[in-house]
């Protein structure tokens, strides 16, 4: 079992220790559930009230904390408790699944595929013709990577994921279980003779460096060219990204949100959970779309939008307040 003193933990996060404790720490836990051998954190002043009832000996806290740690307890004060806690969680992270051999004997790797040094390929994987796998890539069991794809160095692809032909994934990415990269875009046109005619989707998907794609998320290939996800994008579980959409750098999409075809997101755009974005819409740098919102038109940079159809947040709040008053008055 891993065990660290408060001094050893502080060497990792470079905070300032307040209070004293000799308790060794063997795990992390939220305040309400923590035991004396577990470290917790307070990332917001509204959670200070839970400290007295917690059994945690140590908490990582923001610098603006207004309470004292108490007897045989201590705080490690840092500028950002959430970021510091991510470093501590890495200390206690359990080992990843074991590979007995770098390439499992049941993996089907085409003879024309190029496998980088230190890459690991699990049981039941299929690596197609002319695929290029970078150095130190980890591909867990039952992943399919089809023809002419490239996977950048240090990328991790979890079980059940499918990367279809001619798609490209950058360095240091994480693709979670059952994600699908490069499925056909949703393209059909009505025909009096045949009903709905499928429009061939002959493009691909290009994913930048440091991108994370959640479980069961689908990124559709472009109809003509590429669907593009810029460096550092973080995509939650169960997200749909339609064909020919373009995401800038460091965009965030929360669970169950979706982009229709040919949506353009600038850098640093945040899309809340279950939000829907109409096709051929452009959302500017740093804009925020609230959870459950429906975007039907372009959004300028830096705006925060709420509602269905989405309007500026302050206008949405005014509308909701007026509606609440109207409903209240109707009941009198």
SS (H, E, C) 141-154: CCCEECCCCEECCC
Tokens 């969680």 belong to residue: 89
| Active-site residue, from 168, 176, 243, 280 | 243
Distance, in Å, from the CA atom of 219 to the CA atom of 163, rounded to the nearest integer, reads: 10
Contact 300, 283 (CB under 8 A): no
d(CA 326, CA 142): 56
Contact assessment for residue 13 and residue 28, using Cβ atoms and an 8 Å cutoff: no
Is 243 assigned a catalytic role?
Answer: yes
Closest CA to 206 of 227, 185, 223: 227
> Side-chain half-sphere of 289: how many Cα atoms within 13 Å?
37
Total residue count of the chain as it appears in this document: 332
CA distance 305 to 322: 18
Cross-strand partners of 61: 42, 77
CA distance 24 to 8: 10
Rounding to the nearest 10 degrees, give the CA dihedral for residues 24, 29, 34, 38. Answer: 0
Please count the other Cβ atoms lying within 10 Å of the Cβ belonging to residue 227: 30
| H-helix or E-strand spanning residue 246 | strand 246-247
Q: Residue 294, SS3?
A: strand
Are residues 40 and 56 in contact, defined by beta-carbon separation less than 8 angstroms?
Answer: yes
**Of the candidates 160, 180, 253, the residue with the CA atom closest to the CA atom of residue 221:** 180
Q: Which residues are catalytic?
A: 243
């Amino acid at each position: 079992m891993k065990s660290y003193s408060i001094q050893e933990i502080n060497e990792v996060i470079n905070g300032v220790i307040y209070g004293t404790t000799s308790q060794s720490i063997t795990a992390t836990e939220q305040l309400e559930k923590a035991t004396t051998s577990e470290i917790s954190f307070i990332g917001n002043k509204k959670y200070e009230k839970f400290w007295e009832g917690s059994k945690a000996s140590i908490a990582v806290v923001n610098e603006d904390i207004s309470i004292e740690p108490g007897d045989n307890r201590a705080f490690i004060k840092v500028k950002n408790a959430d970021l510091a806690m991510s470093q501590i969680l890495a200390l206690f992270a359990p080992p990843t699944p074991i590979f007995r051999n770098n390439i499992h004997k049941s993996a089907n790797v085409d003879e024309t595929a190029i496998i980088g040094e230190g890459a690991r390929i699990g049981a039941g994987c299929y690596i197609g013709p002319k695929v290029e796998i970078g150095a130190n890539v980890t591909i867990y069991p039952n992943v399919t990577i089809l023809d002419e794809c490239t996977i950048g160095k240090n990328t991790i692809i979890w079980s059940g994921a499918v990367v279809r032909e001619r798609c490209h994934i950058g360095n240091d990415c994480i693709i979670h279980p059952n994600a699908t990269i490069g499925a056909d875009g949703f393209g059909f046109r009505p025909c009096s003779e045949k009903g709905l005619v499928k429009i061939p989707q002959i493009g691909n998907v290009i994913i930048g460096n440091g991108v994370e794609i959640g479980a069961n998320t689908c990124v559709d290939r472009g109809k003509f060219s590429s669907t593009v996800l810029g460096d550092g994008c973080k995509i939650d579980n169960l997200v749909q990204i339609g064909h020919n959409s373009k995401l800038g750098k460091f965009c965030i999409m929360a669970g169950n949100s979706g982009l229709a075809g040919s949506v353009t997101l600038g850098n640093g755009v945040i899309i809340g959970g279950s939000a829907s974005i109409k096709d051929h819409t452009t959302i500017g740098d740093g804009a925020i779309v609230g959870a459950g919102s429906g975007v039907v038109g372009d959004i300028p940079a830096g705006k925060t939008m709420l509602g269905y159809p989405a309007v500026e947040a302050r206008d949405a709040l005014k509308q909701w307040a007026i509606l609440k008053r109207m409903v209240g008055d109707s009941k009198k």
